[in-house]
Structures are given as C-alpha cells and as structure tokens.
Amino acid sequence: MSWPDSDVVGSDVTLPFTVYGKVDRGPGGELAHEGNRVPDIVALDDRRLVVGWRAGVRDERDSAPTDQGSIMCARSGDGGKSWTVSTLAAATATHRYHYVIFLNDAGTLYALLGQIVIDRDRDREGGVDGFPTSMVVRRSTDDGRTWTDFPVTVDVPDNGRGVVVAGKPVRSGGLWLVPYWRHSGTTTRAGVLRSADLRTWTSGGLAENPPGVAIEEPQLAVSQDDPGTLVMVTRTLNLTQGTSAAARDAYYRANAAHCATATSTDAGLTWSPMTLDENLPNYYVKTFFTRDTAGRYLAIFNTLAGPFTGASASKPDQYREVLYYKVRRPGEPWEPGRLFADGARLTSGAARGWDVYASADEYEPGRFFVVWEHNQTNIKVARLDISQPINDAPLAEGDWTTGGATTDGWVLSGGARVTGGGLRLRSAGAGSCSASFGLDVSRGCDFTLEFRGRVNDDSALDPRTGSGVCSGVKVSNGARRLMLTVQKSGVWSMCKGSAVWEKIYSSSTAGQPATWKVRVDSSGVARLFRDDTDTGATWVIQDSRERPQLTHWVTGTPGGNAAEATLEWTRLTPALDETR
C-alpha cells in the first residue's frame, strides 16, 4: 500500500517505533472512549529513553470522559527498539490524571502530573472534562524504573482550570521554570511556575493575551538572540469572529491561525504582551516548541485542526492528521515547514488518522527523539535530525522551450504536445488536457511555484463546475492543495474551506506571456507575483489529502468553448525566504 493508506514520515525522520498501542474498542472497532495520549519523552542519551502518556478510562456516568486517566510509562535501553511498560500513576476511585511532563535534573527524573479529583470535576449532568487539575510530582532516581511521591507546594490561585502543564521545563538564571496555563478572569492565560529547589513553586506573571484570543498549552525556550530572554509560544483559540460554536467552526474552516508569543527578561515575572506570530501556525491544538544546544528553534505543529462541530466525517480532510515541523537557525529566517509524520487512518470515527501532541528531547546537538500519538492509539517515537538546512533541490520542474531538456517524469494526456517554444495544452470540450508530475510525499513542505506561459484561447470559466479553465495549475503536497487558473481577465483560485473558483487578481492583460509565482507559507497563506512584482493578492489555500502532484491543465466547456494555453516552463521548490 502507498500513502495515504500507509504511514509516511518526512525525509529527515527515521522510521518510527511503536511504544504502546492498547486501546478499548467498541463492537464496530471504533474507539470505546476518548483517549488523547498527550505523551512526553526524556532522552537520557542516544539509547536510554523514558516515555510517559495518559491512558483514558471509562466512566460510569459519562460515556465520553475527556482528558483523564492513568499515566503510563515506558523505558527503552536500545534507542527505541524495545520497551518495558509500567504504570507511573494509576487512576483510582477518587483521582485521575490529566497530563505528564518530565523534568530531567542531571539524570534524576521528575514527573509533573496533573491530578484530578473526580467529584470536583463532575458537573450536574455527570460529565467530566479533566478540570481543574493540581500539579503533583513523582520522582525516579533509576532511569524511570521506579517512582516515588515527591511532595511539592504550588502557589496558584484556585481557578476553573487549575494548573495545566503541556510544555518542557527550562533551567534559566538559577531557577527551574515550568510553562503553564490557567483560567483568569473571563479567559485562559499563560505564564511560568518558578522554583529554586523543585519543591516550592510560585507563579510568575501571566502574559496579556492578544485581543479576542484565548491561550493554552504554552511552550518555553531561552531566546536564540539573548540568553537572558525567555520566549513563550502558545496554542490559541481565535474568537475574534464570535464565541459561539458555529462562529468558531466557521472561522477555522476558512482562515489561517497562528501561535501567540511573548518574551520575558526577568525569568517570567513579567511578560511582553502576546502577539500572533505568522511564522508559527496553530489551529487550536498543541504546537511543540524548543531550542537545541546550538541555538536552533524547533516547532512541530499540525497543518489543520480547529474547534469543529459535528461528527468526525463532517470535519475537513487532514483534520489533526498531518504533523509538520520547521526550524529557525540563529540569525536566519524560519525555514519552510516540512512533513514530520502522517499515519494511516485506523478508525473512521473519533481520532481518524490523527497524528498529534508531539514532544521531543535532544540527545545530541541538533538530533532529537520525538514522541507523538497516532489515532489516539499508538505511542510512536522517531529520530529527527535538524542539524542540516533543508534540501532546497526542486520538488519538480519542467522546461519545454526550444533547447529545454527538463521533461523527465512528466505525463502528458488529453492531446498535450510539445510545439516550438513550449507545451501546448488545448481542450475543445469538457475533457481536460494536462501535464502532470507525481511528487514525493515524504518531501512535502511549504512551497513556491513559478511558471511561465500564456493563454492562447480564452474560455468561459464556470466557478462551480470548473469548466473553462484556460491555464490551470494544481499543487498537492499531501496536506494542502493550491488551485490556480490564469484567465484573460485575471487569476482565480479556490480558497480554504471552499470548492468554488474565486477571482483573486483582476487584469485585462493576464493572458499575455508572463511569469507567475505563488509562495505558500506554513499557514497555507499564498501570495501571488507577476513578473517578479507582488500583485498584492493573498489568500489561504485548501486543505487536502489528494495525491501529491504538480499538474498544469486546461478544460473547455461542454458547449465547445475551447481553452488553450502554452506553458514554457514550471518549477516547484521549497518556500525558502528570498532574503536569505
């Protein structure tokens, strides 16, 4: 089998090991109850690993208990080939656990646990949602073989969420700092817990949210620009277009969304106001963020998620299914986002194909063990090497000009043929005429498409059926899809959440010979250029699991209104920052 019916990882990711994969299933093979695993990992060296995760439990009064269970633990002494599984903190009749995050103090491990009192969690209807949590700690001095309680005090005011931890602790300025979030006023906000002795934890200040945005799951790192500055990166819930379930659903189906970030120069006592960072996508699911020993930032994120309503089948394709990562080297812009993992669908209902909640730990400079959950079933671990820059070789290219020799791998159909000076695409009816190149899904990434051509015969585009495409181009990379057509009156595209062509750029000379370029960033935001000039047109492209490909095509109309274009050359590359 091939993707999407089999698992795939990025070209700089090793084949993953499965740590654990036991789940409760119903009669039809679907998951019996909610079971987000939210794993974490410690790499003691390149062979000794400790992984923790939550195993969901049934509840006698709630058929879908959320964000709670026992905390499991697995150890490996051979780099992930084999694992010994145990229970780190068992759910009881009175308590359950929301999260586990490891703190590694020179080989002594501390498991920071979010403990839930079931009676306090349960609402009037009997439902439980995993809140509020209190932070308790267990310690291991033998590489995770055994764990004992480690009493702590945590000075955080009572609130509806408690103390929720989802990011790696950081040692800075003689203090241990743990990023956390809680309820504050009418929203959720983030800050850090501070401790000099690992026993007494006090809260620093909470960062001010961007207007209309709620904050969760903060991540923390020391700035690559200043060792005295902390950087906090958070999951966001954008409520600027409305707070109702319908308004949130509509916003995330059609718009790009981003992490919020803030900085602190006093070890988390105060923070700059949070701002949305367009370099870091976030679709209301955890973005993992860290810095390695060489100062490189690493972010691992989903290309699509969101607070969508309805059953799993009604959610968009690739909802929580694709993990990407991106790297920023000191003094450089962010590199393009690229594929980390996209596993096959193990269910058709809840958690269908999910690859989510990544965490990572560095074992050598620029080399990480990454853990994540797949389909709320498998805990997976793979190695990721970020020590080398992204391979900037073209993903696809073709040149049909006189003397052009780059045509290998292209499949021509519908009467496409090479003529003097280019590739002639012509359709006089409903059928398409095309040139297509299959892409390697493991090299999926943010991309730049550039091509040169002209419209010879203008047809009448039907925005709903797609007939009348004069000079169309499609790029599918396994996560998103760019749909573009140049007509004599302008340029049209299909936007995120829509299957209808929309005009994005008007020009009475659009059909004349021109070089067109589209640059797509990590959030799916596209920008259009014509002959190296920014047209000012931007839009968000579609999410899609269509077969990876670069295809140029034309389509006439059923009534015989022909479409014809000449394509001189085309090139698809990773979307490197052009100021590099």
pLDDT one-digit tens code per residue, 127-165? 999 999 999 999 999 999 999 999 999 999 999 999 999
Copy the structure tokens of residue 19.
């740590």
Closest CA to 54 of 151, 152, 166: 166
Phi and psi torsions of 314, nearest 5°: -90, -10
pLDDT one-digit tens code per residue, 262-312? 999 999 999 999 999 999 999 999 999 999 999 999 999 999 999 999 988
Compute the average pLDDT of residues 26-42: 86
Domain boundaries, the chain: 166-274, 396-574
Distance CA 21, CA 3 (A): 21
CATH dotted code for 166-274: 2.115.10.20
Q: How many helices (H) and strands (E) does the chain have?
A: 2, 42
Distance CA 372, CA 286 (A): 11
Distance CA 227, CA 397 (A): 43
Cis before 151? omega within 30: no
pLDDT at 63: 85
Kindly tell me if the per-residue pLDDT of 195 is higher than 80.
yes
Q: Global pTM?
A: 0.97
Q: Across the strands, what pairs with 361?
A: 369
More confident residue, 182 or 29: 182
Kindly tell me if the per-residue pLDDT of 102 is higher than 60.
yes
Task: State the pLDDT confidence band at 1, using cuts at 50, 70 and 90.
Answer: confident
Kindly tell me if the per-residue pLDDT of 107 is higher than 70.
yes
Kindly tell me if the per-residue pLDDT of 257 is higher than 90.
yes
Beta carbons of 220 and 267 less than 8 angstroms apart: no
More confident residue, 116 or 33: 116
User: Rounded to the nearest 5 degrees, what angle is found at the Cα of 411, between the Cα atoms of 409 and 413?
Assistant: 170
pLDDT at 580: 46
Task: State the pLDDT confidence band at 34, using cuts at 50, 70 and 90.
Answer: low
Distance CA 491, CA 240 (A): 30
pLDDT at 258: 98
**Residue 119 carries which DSSP code?**
H
Architecture of the CATH domain 396-574: Sandwich (2.60)
List strands edge to edge, sheet with 170-172: 153-155, 200-203, 187-195, 175-184, 170-172
Distance CA 90, CA 73 (A): 11
Compute the average pLDDT of residues 109-117: 98
126: burial class by Cβ within 10 Å (0-12, 13-18, 19+)? exposed
Q: Tell me the percentage of the chain whose pLDDT exceeds 70.
A: 99
Which residues, 6 or more positions from 159, have their beta carbon under 8 angstroms from its beta carbon? 132, 182, 183, 184
CA 533 to chain centre: 30
For strands 153-155 and 200-203, give the pairing.
parallel
**How high is the mean pLDDT of the chain?**
96
Phi and psi torsions of 414, nearest 5°: 70, 20
Compute the average pLDDT of residues 369-396: 96
